Amino acid sequence: MRDPKVWRTEILAGLVVALALIPEAISFSVIAGVDPAIGLFASFTMAVTISVVGGRRAMISAATGAVALVIAPLNREHGFGYLVAAVILAGAFQIVLGALGIAKLMRFVPRSVMVGFVNSLAILIFTAQVPEMHDVPWPVYPLLAGGLALMVFFPKATRVIPAPLVSIVILTVITVAAGIAVPTVGDKGELPSALPVPGLPDVPFTLDTLTTIAPYALAMALVGLMESLMTAKLVDDITDTHSSKTRESIGQGIANIVTGFLGGMGGCAMIGQTMINVKVSGARTRLSTFLAGSFLMVLCIVFGPVVSDIPMAALVAVMVMVSFATFDWHSIAPKTLKRMPAGEIAVMAITVACVVATHNLAIGVVVGTVTAMVVFARRVAHLADVTAAVDPDGTQVVYSVTGELFFASSNDLVTRFAYATDPDRVVIDLTATHIWDASSVAALDAIETKYAQRGKTVEIIGLNQPSARIHDRLSGELTGGH
């Protein structure tokens, strides 16, 4: 951080993100049914707090649409006090889940789901801008085109100043100087004029209140952690660095508790703004995250009138550029699709479809991961094979089992043996396989039982140590004996 170039990059990145946060936070406030200042307060407190306690450097956390959708019914049915209480409880849940190691579940998210997550994110970022391009004054379109052109060509001249910041400033100067009437940030809602004040939620502290807010708080905690951990993993890949997902989980909880006590609507990692910070602006440290939140409040409180004049077209152009840069175009190239297994393509497509249909990244990731597990189980199940070799004297048959034995592959194992015609001595060689679960032990027990009913003996050989351990522990115990 002693390098002046790093300081410049981080400061300018924080400013660009702060500008991009304002309309988003206001929009999410509308979704949640609260005053725009509530969403802006949440973005300020989330970003500043997570910059200190979070695990992923340069990631932006603020008020988000996913969290707003979860808590909107609670605010509508019970009031703002219950929403704030739910935010605080959600933070407590996240700390507990983080301490219990929920971050370790991220290893079960396959690459095809991650690619689907990234592509659906890009689609959602773009579609969120469509209303700002529909039924608007005609000058919006040339302003939008000009903003995109600036962000494409300005970096060819210099990268000292982020192109999105240049685009926002130039378009704002043009619209104000020429008096062009187009939608502005100020049209989204009134900006706050003072810092948030800490306080307790205005709810009765009773068991009834707890049972009311707990389901919403748990849903918010899970959705927030899912989006935050997925975003952290994405930034890890982009920056080729590692981050502590456990610390990030606990940090998200702390940030939500702080936000709740300051009257904010809560939030989680913001993927679009994180992409602006990391991929477009080149930020890599916690300073950019801290400054994004700090600049947000300074812009609202000190420079509110100026910020209100920023044309929405400038911010829409930034987000369109972000969506284009975020999408993994290589994943849908014909050459890639030809080489990819059909199951992988299906998992990616299902993830994208679920996210776009529900506008909930967490649902898409869960459905995509479950689909990937089913595809994997089906694929591995077909790898289990049984071959028989009868001794020349006809007194013994040796069955060699290859592949992995688990619930999907062991279910039809029982049908692969010739019980009636086999010799009296049967050997089952498991040298080339591995027993993974109780279903496989039960299948082997069933095979021994069928042979025993015909007066034939079975010997199981070749078990590796882990397989022998699970077989010895469970054999004969699953069906009450042979």
How many of the other CB atoms lie within 10 Å of CB of 240?
6
Q: Check residue 360 and give its pLDDT.
A: 76
| The pLDDT value given to residue 482 | 43
H helices of 60-110, in order, are: 65-78, 80-99
CB 113 within 8 A of CB 374: no
Q: Does the pLDDT at position 478 exceed 80?
A: no
Provide the total of helices (H) and of strands (E) in the chain, helices listed first: 19, 6
Q: What is the pLDDT of residues 338-388, one digit of tens each?
A: 988 999 999 999 999 998 898 777 788 889 999 998 888 887 777 778 999
For 97-147, the pLDDT digits (tens) are 999 998 888 788 888 998 898 898 788 888 888 888 989 999 999 999 999
pLDDT score of 103: 87
Mean pLDDT for the stretch of residues 217-224 = 90
CB atoms within 10 A of CB 395: 10
* pLDDT at position 69: 80
Q: What's the pLDDT score for residue 41?
A: 94
pLDDT tier for residue 417 given thresholds of 50, 70 and 90: very high
Q: What is the pLDDT of residues 444-468, one digit of tens each?
A: 999 999 999 999 999 999 999 999 9
Q: Over the stretch 309-333, which tens digit does the pLDDT of each residue have?
A: 999 999 889 888 888 888 889 999 9
Start-to-end C-alpha separation, the chain:
70
Contacts of 142 (CB under 8 A, 6+ apart): none
| pLDDT value of residue 479 | 64
Judge whether 14 and 164 are in contact, CB under 8 Å.
no
Which segment, 155-169, 248-262, 296-310, 393-407, is predicted with the most confidence on average?
Answer: 248-262
Torsion of CA 241, 247, 249, 251, to 10 degrees: -110
Q: What is the largest CA-CA distance in the chain?
A: 101
Question: Which residues, 6 or more positions from 31, have their beta carbon under 8 angstroms from its beta carbon?
Answer: 65, 68, 69, 72
Instruction: Name the 3-class secondary structure at 476.
Output: coil
Q: Would you place residue 274 in the very low, low, confident or very high pLDDT band (cuts 50, 70, 90)?
A: very high
Q: Which two tokens stand for residue 204?
A: 């009765």
Structure confidence at residue 302 (pLDDT)? 92
387 bridge partner residues = 400
- Residue 480 clears pLDDT 70, i.e. is over it: no
pLDDT value at residue 476: 84
User: Which tokens sit at 381?
Assistant: 């199940």
> Going by DSSP bridges, is the β-strand pair 268-269/61-62 parallel, antiparallel, or unpaired?
antiparallel
Residue 284 has pLDDT above 90, yes or no: yes
pLDDT band at 481 (very low <50, low <70, confident <90, very high): very low
For residues 54-75, give the mean pLDDT: 90
User: What amino acid occupies position 233?
Assistant: K
Looking at residue 1, its pLDDT comes to 58
> Is the pLDDT at 178 greater than 90, yes or no?
yes
Model confidence pLDDT, tens digit, residues 6-29: 999 999 999 999 998 998 888 888
Residue 127 corresponds to which tokens in the numbers above? 């579609």
For the segment 406-435, the average pLDDT, to the nearest whole number, is 91
What does pTM read for this prediction?
0.77
Percentage of the chain beyond pLDDT 70 is 99
d(CA 108, CA 230): 12
Average pLDDT score, the chain: 91
Residue 172 CA from chain centroid, whole number: 34
Sign, CA dihedral 171-151-20-362, equals positive
Count CB neighbours of 69 within 10 A: 18
Tell me the C-alpha distance between 345 and 326, whole Å: 19
Q: What percentage of the chain has pLDDT greater than the value 90?
A: 63
